[in-house]
Amino acid sequence: MKSYLKQAICLFFSLLFLALLLDSACAAVYEVGPGLTYERIGQVPWNSLGPGDKVLIHYKASPYHEKWVIARAGTAENPIVVKGVPGPSGKLPIIDGSNAVTSQSLNFWSEERGIINIGGSNIGSEFPRNIIIENLDIRNARPPYTFKDDHGSTKTYSKNAAAIYIIEGEGITIRNCRIHNCGNGLFACHASGSIVIEYCHIFDNGIEGSYYQHNTYTEAKGIVYQFNHFGPLRAGCGGNNLKDRSAGTVIRYNWIEGGNRQLDLVDSDYQELIGLPSYRKTFVYGNVLFERGNEGNSQIVHYGGDSGDLSRYRKGTLYFYNNTVVSKRTSNTTIFRLSSQDETCIATNNIFFVTAPGGHLAISNRDGTVRLKNNWLRAGWVKSHEGSGFSGKIVDLGGDISGDDPGFVSLSSMDLGLAQGSSCVNAGTDSIPGASPDHPVNFQYRKHQAAEPTPKAGAMDIGAFERAQVQSNRNPVIDSFTAVPVTVSNPGIFIQFSAQANDPDGDNLVYRIEFGDGTVDFKKNPGHRYWKKGQYHVVLTVSDGKGGEAKRALDVTVNDKLPSPPKKLSGKKK
């Protein structure tokens, strides 16, 4: 009986193993491009992709004018990967929504909303899971651009069309894509979750004269934006840069430049998001938020809600730390607009810099509580520009500093690292509310679409960039250098040299003595004999192996006083 059980268990695990093996063994690679198996993207069997399948879209000089849907599931170990293969000098394959065609073997809805739709298929439909889209340049989804739908009919994109439109899905990663000239760059609906948007360049989206289309517009159950370069929207477009209604929003290590507001973090209208504990905690850290001039709204960050139904607002805490905020507005700038009295922001280790006089900088708008800890603020800053209309609170948790210049490496070239002598160096706090244990500051943004580990250098600096410890090596110091005796009566007499030096850094030292007669010794206390009468200039060089050195010289005199060797009394010359 027991042995039957054993056999059954054995068989079970063998089958499981086989299934896992088949899972990855069955994975296919679909190569798309000129001269490859699939000339067109539409020839890929999108309706039947499975775990581990890869669609490789190769670069070609002319864009792919195609659009499609992905409604299939990968696994965490074997995701479905749709990956561009870059061309010369790293050029990404272009997916152009204008005049794009749709394969008629596909059948899906909301075709006017995106170039690549995730979810919403009528054929072979699975809940989309574990999908990675990377290395693609996706553009031109907005009016007046048109496309051919899955019936071959010509349609115009809607104003809120997106390069990637996520209707539903879990575990979606969008990496190193260029997303531009669409209505919304990216759009994710509330039925999506565990979304990661990283290393992307997102710019030039929006609709002229409209406030409702944004570089990204997301509402997800868990979303992380990291290492992205957000550029300005297209000229004349009034939307925000990053607009989000998610639960579990994390925005870290991004460069976010322009937009009506840089960040618009407002309410969801879906109870399945509002009910999550993560809806109450929003993390924004390590970002550069840049207002280039008098563009759109003077507020940088909006947190809470905008629906007007206060019961849905985030009413939690915005943890906002180690960001560098720069505004070049000539008029007022307001850092935070908290939507209601129930919203709180804890701002720690941030630089709040305006190029206008400090009185133009306000921390808050009307409502809510902002707690300030170890920030750098332009001197003369005010709590609010609303005067008696301000009913919120600014709470001082200590450690803030202010001045006229935070000490950037170069403001004109927007190198926002800290120069030597910046008052922000080591002026931050290491105990950041909200950071521990899940959201420590481990990286910093690198221009552009890149990141590097935060150098560890003393206490934390204020701002998004930590100044690395400058290794300033100090030269060795020579304590003494002697020759005994320094004058000898004859060649051949032994002279004792002695050198003694120290290094302020404790470096190991190398001694080198040039005796002035063409010979050298590397000992600290060498003996030496000269074989010719003369004046010798002896040079000691002490090196620390790090480029630091010290020199000292002395002169040795060798006379020739005694008749030596004694005369030979041979009768040779007589």
Provide, rounded to whole angstroms, the least separation between the CB of residue 414 and Ca ion.
Answer: 16
Torsion of CA 411, 414, 418, 419, to 10 degrees: -50
With tokens 């999506």, the residue in question is 192
Window contacting Ca ion (CB under 5 A); options: 354-362, 424-432, 513-521, 534-542: 424-432
Which residue, 168 or 503, is less far from Ca ion as judged by CB? 503
Residue (386 or 505) nearer to Ca ion, CB: 505
Min dist. Cβ of residue 477 to Ca ion (A) = 10
Residue with tokens 């596909």: 106
- The stretch among 60-68, 226-234, 237-245, 540-548 that binds Ca ion (CB under 5 A) is 540-548
Helix, strand, or coil here: 170? strand
**Residue among 263 and 318 whose Cβ is closer to Ca ion:** 263
The minimum distance between CB 459 and Ca ion, in angstroms, equals 5
d(CA 332, CA 356): 8
Pairing verdict, β 54-58 and 80-85:
parallel
How far apart are the C-alpha atoms of 17 and 238, rounded to whole Å? 55
Distance CA 443, CA 456 (A): 11
* Length of the chain counted residue by residue: 574
Summary count for the chain: helices (H), strands (E): 2, 47
Question: Of residues 173, 307, 332, 426, which one binds Ca ion by CB under 5 A?
Answer: 426
Tell me, by CB under 5 A, how many residues bind Ca ion. Answer: 14
**SS3 state at 441:** coil
Report, in Å, the least distance between residue 546 CB and Ca ion.
5
Binding of Ca ion at residue 264 (CB under 5 A)? no
548 near Ca ion, rule: CB under 5 A: yes
Judged by beta carbon, residue 57 or residue 202, the one nearer Ca ion is 202
d(CA 356, CA 385): 14
Cβ neighbours, 10 Å, residue 85: 15
Which H/E stretch holds residue 274? Answer: helix 271-274
Binders in 279-298 for Ca ion, by CB under 5 A: 295-297
Which residue lies nearer to Ca ion by CB, 130 or 327?
A: 327
Q: Are 318 and 343 in contact (CB under 8 A)?
A: yes
178/261 with CB nearer Ca ion: 261
The whole-angstrom distance between residue 48's C-alpha and the CA centroid of its chain comes to: 36
Q: Which is nearer to Ca ion, 196 or 457 (CB)?
A: 457
Least separation in angstroms between residue 445's CB and Ca ion is 17
Say if residues 83 and 70 touch (Cβ distance below 8 Å).
no
Residues 447-476 that bind Ca ion (CB under 5 A): 457-458, 461, 473-474
The single residue listed with the structure tokens 């198996």 is: 37
Residue 230 contacts residue 178 (beta carbons within 8 Å): no
Q: Indicate whether 239 belongs to the interface with Ca ion (CB under 5 A).
A: no
- Segment interacting with Ca ion, rule: CB under 5 A, options 80-88, 122-130, 426-434, 562-570: 426-434
Residue whose CB is less far from Ca ion, 23 or 507: 507
Binding of residue 503 to Ca ion (CB under 5 A):
yes
Q: Which residues bind Ca ion (CB under 5 A)?
A: 295-297, 426, 457-458, 461, 473-474, 503, 505, 507, 544, 548
